[in-house]
């Protein structure tokens, strides 16, 4: 059967229109008009191409093996070089272009080591006004391997908050050693030798039973058998501030 | 040229032009392969960060490093990451203060207050949610999640309408006064895609921040996830944060 001429032409016109529309949609007009994906891919690429400011410890090590080794064996092993020396990618790329600063002032160390009650228990902190005032920290401590020139004798350096709290309490005059047995190693390698903690009511009873013989014994005594039931005393009294937890 | 010839030429011309146009960017891309790491496969990663609250000493170095790495404005109220001081009092009152707003060094630490039962620092940043509310509200598709799970902002598309800043439950976004576009933590996308650590993690002195890949096989974050009791901020919003906190106090919002 032969199609009429006008139908064939109409067919061709429709086919051309469809082809043009498809061409426009899929070839001529950019995909970014219809979808956010190309934009997002381009944005991610731009983000990836941004310049580095911090080179990272591994790069510093390539030229500063000595400082790296020193630091790696000491207490500052977890601190990145650029924490103290500032972002140094430009120096690492061209060592003569920019010299990283040497943070020798007391303030640089005190940002981490100045006493602050919110810092975690055990983190070494000093009171800036009392700890060798006005002398640069780096004259006594090597910043890359900060061993104190002599082992600390006080507990304040790492337990400032407890020490300060106790100082305000009725237990102010009790030395820490009356309740904790501290190994000397704890003062230099604290986590490797943790002190003891009271383990029974008798530790407190030593000073709080009527007629206690301990030289530091308290005038205030309780009936050990009845007072506080079977609980250990520090479940109700905070031993470092006993009257504060009534 | 008659009508018929013109049409014939036109029909040939447009597809040819379009093909050329389509080929042009590809050719351009081949010309400079150095800048874009083409071997990076985003689908193989799912990044996250662990934060051990017990280890944060509040030194603020992460905030400074972040600002330097990412050109965040110096003024002390623009942050991609910041540190909060929590103080929980005997009477249950909780005081929160952003310590990163102070310029330079910490002023004298607050005096000892015996009514404070607990006090600690909490580092905060964009939680890189698996279901990010900011992405849902963006009217122009300028903020989006990459296949490796990082939420980014397209500076060229952003119109600065601030919807996303309002929508973020964590206050992690700000309007950059220079570009007039929304800005936020990218996990240092330019660093992590090259296998480096985000700047804040690079400088953290106590390893309170742990960066990792939740799709990784031998990965520190996976171990962190395994050994700690993990909490996330505002879990009830179902945003599914990928910033995981260990030792997080119940008072932290």
Q: Look up the ipTM and state it.
A: 0.84
- Could you tell me if residue B105 is inside a domain? no
The residue behind tokens 């081949």 is: B30
pLDDT band at B4 (very low <50, low <70, confident <90, very high): low
A193 secondary structure, DSSP code: S
Task: Pinpoint the alpha helices (H) of B78-237.
Answer: 133-137, 163-167, 189-192, 199-203, 220-227
> Pick from B95, B93, B112: which is nearest to A162 by CA?
B112
Q: CA triplet B151, B156, B157: central angle to 5 degrees?
A: 70
Residues B205, A76: C-beta atoms closer than 8 Å: yes
Q: What is the Cα–Cα distance from A239 to A180, expressed in whole angstroms?
A: 11
Tell me the CATH number at B44: 3.30.70.20
Question: Each residue of B54-83: pLDDT tens digit?
Answer: 999 999 999 999 999 999 998 888 999 999
pLDDT band at B176 (very low <50, low <70, confident <90, very high): very high
- Could you tell me if residue B111 is inside a domain? no
User: Residues A50-58: what's their mean pLDDT?
Assistant: 95
Residues A40, B144: C-beta atoms closer than 8 Å: yes
pLDDT value at B92 more than 50: yes
The residue behind tokens 């390539």 is: A62
Q: Output b/e per residue, B101-124; b: 16+ Cβ within 10 A.
A: eeeeebeebeeeeeebeebbbbbb
Residue B205: list chain A partners with CB under 8 A: 76, 78-80, 83, 112
Where is pLDDT greater, at A34 or B120? B120
Structural domain boundaries enclosing B220: 1-80+124-253
State how far the alpha carbon of B244 is from the alpha carbons of A113, A118, B1, in Å. 27, 21, 72
- Could you tell me if residue B251 is inside a domain? yes
- Could you tell me if residue B104 is inside a domain? no
Residue B80: list chain A partners with CB under 8 A: none
Q: What is the Cα–Cα distance from B186 to B198, expressed in whole angstroms?
A: 9
B253 secondary structure, DSSP code: -
Residues B205, A83: C-beta atoms closer than 8 Å: yes
Residue B112: list chain A partners with CB under 8 A: 117, 161, 164-165, 168
Question: Each residue of B9-55: pLDDT tens digit?
Answer: 656 555 555 454 544 444 443 333 334 456 788 999 999 999 999 99
The total domain count for chain B is 1
> Pick from B210, B200, B195: which is nearest to B72 by CA?
B200
Neighbour tally for A55: CB within 10 Å: 21
Give the pLDDT of residue B24.
45
Could you tell me what percent of chain B has a pLDDT over 70?
81
Directed axis angle between helix B3-31 and helix A5-23, to 10°? 20
State how far the alpha carbon of A47 is from the alpha carbons of B142, B148, B189, in Å. 13, 14, 6
Question: Each residue of A6-39: pLDDT tens digit?
Answer: 999 999 999 999 999 999 988 888 877 778 888 8
Residue A96 CB contacts under 8 Å (≥ 6 apart), including other chains = none
Integer Rg of chain A from CA: 36
CB B164 within 8 A of CB B173: yes
B177 vs chain A: nearest CA distance in angstroms?
19
Q: Can you read off the two tokens belonging to residue B195?
A: 């296998």
B244 half-sphere exposure, CB direction, 13 A CA radius: 23
B163 secondary structure, DSSP code: H
pLDDT band at A246 (very low <50, low <70, confident <90, very high): very low
Give domain limits for chain A.
Answer: 60-92+105-111+134-147
Could you tell me what percent of chain A has a pLDDT over 90?
72
A47 vs chain B: nearest CA distance in angstroms?
6
User: Residues B170-193: what's their mean pLDDT?
Assistant: 96
Q: Is B128 on the interface with A (CB under 8 A)?
A: no
Q: What is the Cα–Cα distance from B104 to B122, expressed in whole angstroms?
A: 19
The residue behind tokens 């956010």 is: A36
What average pLDDT does the structure give for chain B?
Answer: 86
* 3-state DSSP assignment of residue B209: strand
Provide the chain B residues 84-123 that lie in CB contact (below 8 A) with chain A.
85-87, 105-106, 109-110, 112, 114, 116, 119-121
Q: CA triplet A183, A188, A191: central angle to 5 degrees?
A: 70
pLDDT band at B233 (very low <50, low <70, confident <90, very high): very high
Provide the chain B residues 12-41 that lie in CB contact (below 8 A) with chain A.
14-15, 17-19, 21-22, 35-37, 40
Length of chain B: 253
> Pick from A76, A95, A78, A83: which is nearest to A54 by CA?
A83
Give the pLDDT of residue A215.
87
Give the pLDDT of residue A39.
87
- Could you tell me if residue B222 is inside a domain? yes
Neighbour tally for A212: CB within 10 Å: 15
Residue B61 CB contacts under 8 Å (≥ 6 apart), including other chains = A83, A111, A112, B203, B204, B205
- Neighbouring-strand partners of residue B241: none
Phi and psi of B145, rounded to 5°? -105, 130
Give the pLDDT of residue A31.
78
Residue B11 CB contacts under 8 Å (≥ 6 apart), including other chains = none
pLDDT value at B185 more than 50: yes
- Could you tell me if residue B30 is inside a domain? yes
CB A23 within 8 A of CB B18: yes
DSSP labels, A41-79: HHHHHHHHTSPPS---HHHHHHH-HHHHHHHHTSTTTTS
Residue A50: list chain B partners with CB under 8 A: 70, 189-190
Confirm whether pTM is higher than 0.80: yes
CB B231 within 8 A of CB B241: no
Question: Each residue of B147-156: pLDDT tens digit?
Answer: 999 999 999 9
Provide the chain B residues 187-246 that lie in CB contact (below 8 A) with chain A.
189-191, 193-194, 196-197, 199, 202-207
């Amino acid at each position: 059967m032969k199609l009429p001429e006008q139908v064939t032409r109409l067919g061709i016109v429709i086919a051309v229109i469809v082809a043009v529309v498809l061409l426009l949609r899929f070839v001529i007009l950019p995909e970014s008009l219809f979808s956010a994906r190309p934009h997002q891919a381009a944005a991610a690429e731009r983000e990836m191409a941004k310049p580095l400011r911090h080179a990272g410890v591994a790069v510093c090590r390539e030229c500063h093996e000595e400082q790296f080794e020193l630091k790696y064996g000491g207490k500052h092993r977890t601190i990145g070089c650029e924490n103290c020396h500032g972002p140094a990618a430009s120096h690492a790329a061209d060592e003569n272009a920019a010299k990283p600063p040497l943070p020798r002032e007391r303030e640089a160390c005190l940002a981490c080591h100045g006493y602050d009650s919110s810092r975690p228990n055990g983190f070494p902190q000093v009171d800036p006004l009392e700890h060798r005032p006005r002398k640069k920290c780096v004259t006594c401590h090597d910043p890359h391997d900060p061993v104190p020139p002599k082992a600390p004798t006080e507990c304040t350096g790492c337990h400032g908050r407890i020490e300060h709290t106790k100082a305000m309490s009725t237990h102010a005059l009790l030395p820490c050693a009356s309740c904790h047995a501290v190994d000397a190693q704890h003062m230099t390698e604290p986590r490797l030798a943790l002190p003891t903690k009271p383990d029974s009511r008798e530790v407190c009873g030593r000073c709080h039973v009527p007629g206690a013989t301990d030289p530091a014994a308290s005038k205030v005594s309780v009936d050990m058998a009845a007072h506080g039931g079977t609980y250990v005393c520090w479940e109700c009294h905070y031993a470092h501030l006993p009257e504060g937890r009534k | 040229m008659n009508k018929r010839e013109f049409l014939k030429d036109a029909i040939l011309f447009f597809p040819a032009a379009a093909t050329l146009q389509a080929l042009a960017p590809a050719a351009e891309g081949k010309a400079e392969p150095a800048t874009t790491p083409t071997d990076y496969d985003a689908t193989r990663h799912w990044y996250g960060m662990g934060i051990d609250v017990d280890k944060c000493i509040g030194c603020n170095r992460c905030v400074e490093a972040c600002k330097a790495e990412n050109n965040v404005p110096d003024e002390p109220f623009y942050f991609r990451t910041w540190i909060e001081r929590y103080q929980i009092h005997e009477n249950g009152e909780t005081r929160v203060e952003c310590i990163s707003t102070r310029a330079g060094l910490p002023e004298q630490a607050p005096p000892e207050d015996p009514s404070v039962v607990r006090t600690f620092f909490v580092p905060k940043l964009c939680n890189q949610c698996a279901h990010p509310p900011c992405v849902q509200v963006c009217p122009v598709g300028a903020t989006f999640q990459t296949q490796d799970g990082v939420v980014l902002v397209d500076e060229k598309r952003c119109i600065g309408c601030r919807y996303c800043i309002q929508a973020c439950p964590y206050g992690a976004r700000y309007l950059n006064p220079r570009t007039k576009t929304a800005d936020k933590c990218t996990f240092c996308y330019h660093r992590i895609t090259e296998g480096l650590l985000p700047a804040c993690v690079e400088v953290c002195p106590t390893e309170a921040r742990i960066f990792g890949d939740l799709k990784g096989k031998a990965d520190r974050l996976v171990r962190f996830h395994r050994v700690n009791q993990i909490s996330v901020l505002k879990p009830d919003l179902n945003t599914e944060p990928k910033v995981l906190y260990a030792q997080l106090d119940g008072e932290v919002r």
